[in-house]
Amino acid sequence: MESAEELKARIRKMNAQATALKMDLHDLAEDLPTGWEKILVVANLAHQAYQNLDEARKRLAASGS
């Protein structure tokens, strides 16, 4: 089991990754119709990243930190 500090550090990294994927998706939308075939892949990656981030935040909240 990771400590609260380790979980907080992991959440910071996960947040940065999720934000980068969000920006990738935003950039794809701005460049439409160029790159439209990548939208589903990037959207799925962003969805998974935010889902993982949400779960980690819930674990942190449940730990009382």
CATH code of the domain covering residue 30: 1.10.287.660
Check: pTM over 0.95? Answer yes or no: no
pLDDT of amino acid 2: 84
Q: Which domain holds residue 42?
A: 4-64
Q: How confident is the model at residue 65 (pLDDT cuts 50, 70, 90)?
A: confident
Phi and psi, residue 29, nearest 5°: -65, -40
pLDDT of amino acid 1: 74
Q: How confident is the model at residue 30 (pLDDT cuts 50, 70, 90)?
A: very high
**What's the rounded Cα separation, in Å, for the pair 14 and 4?**
15
Mean pLDDT, rounded, for 28-52 = 97
Instruction: Give the total number of structural domains in the chain.
Output: 1
pLDDT of amino acid 61: 96
**What's the rounded Cα separation, in Å, for the pair 53 and 48?**
8
